[in-house]
């Protein structure tokens, strides 16, 4: 199912670039507009002037709410990815801990903090983690 409209966050430049991509694709029959934050201007392809909706307009509220929700979603997504990348990279610093061990640790314990807090005994309870690996992981997080 195709959308009825694409709403682009940005001004004329973003609209023109996106419109060109749409024209060259199978989505060339879909309407596209852009919303520039500066004055909440709406740009439409083929029109040199922007459309300024009244501040009290329900259409303007709808479009700005869509844009703000897209921003919130994107920011949350990128923070989550950055956080996971940072935490997982800490496990990558442990000598001898590869992808499968990282996966086992996070699957069983749920977080890097839980791995840090785990005793050697708890680590060895995880299927696939031997005594030697458990000791290396424990020692890494409990350096004197």
* pLDDT tens per residue across all 144 residues of the chain: 889 999 999 889 999 999 999 999 988 899 999 998 878 899 999 998 999 999 899 999 999 999 899 889 989 888 877 766 655 568 888 888 888 888 889 889 988 889 999 999 999 999 999 999 999 999 999 987
- pTM exceeds 0.85: no
Alpha helices in 53-130 (DSSP H): 58-92, 99-109, 112-117, 120-124
Q: Which one of 3.40.630.10, 1.10.10.10, 1.10.287.3510, 1.10.150.20 gives the CATH number of domain 93-144?
A: 1.10.150.20
- Whole-number Å distance between alpha carbons of 107 and 57: 49
Query: Can you give the residue ranges of every domain in the chain?
Result: 1-83, 93-144
**Which of these, 103, 81, 83, lies nearest to 92 by C-alpha position?**
103
- Whole-number Å distance between alpha carbons of 127 and 134: 11
């Amino acid at each position: 199912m195709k959308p009825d409209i694409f709403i682009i966050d940005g001004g004329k430049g973003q609209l023109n670039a996106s419109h060109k991509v749409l024209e060259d694709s199978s989505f060339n029959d879909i309407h596209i507009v852009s919303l520039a934050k500066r004055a909440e201007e709406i740009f439409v392809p083929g029109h040199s002037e922007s459309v300024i909706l009244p501040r009290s307009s329900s259409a303007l509220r709808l479009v700005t709410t869509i844009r703000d929700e897209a921003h919130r979603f994107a920011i949350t997504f990128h923070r989550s990815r950055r956080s996971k990348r940072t935490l997982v990279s800490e496990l990558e610093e442990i000598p001898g801990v590869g992808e499968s061990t990282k996966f086992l640790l996070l699957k069983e314990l749920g977080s890097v903090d839980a791995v840090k807090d785990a005793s050697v005994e708890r680590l060895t309870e995880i299927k696939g983690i031997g005594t030697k690996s458990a000791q290396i992981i424990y020692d890494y997080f409990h350096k004197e």
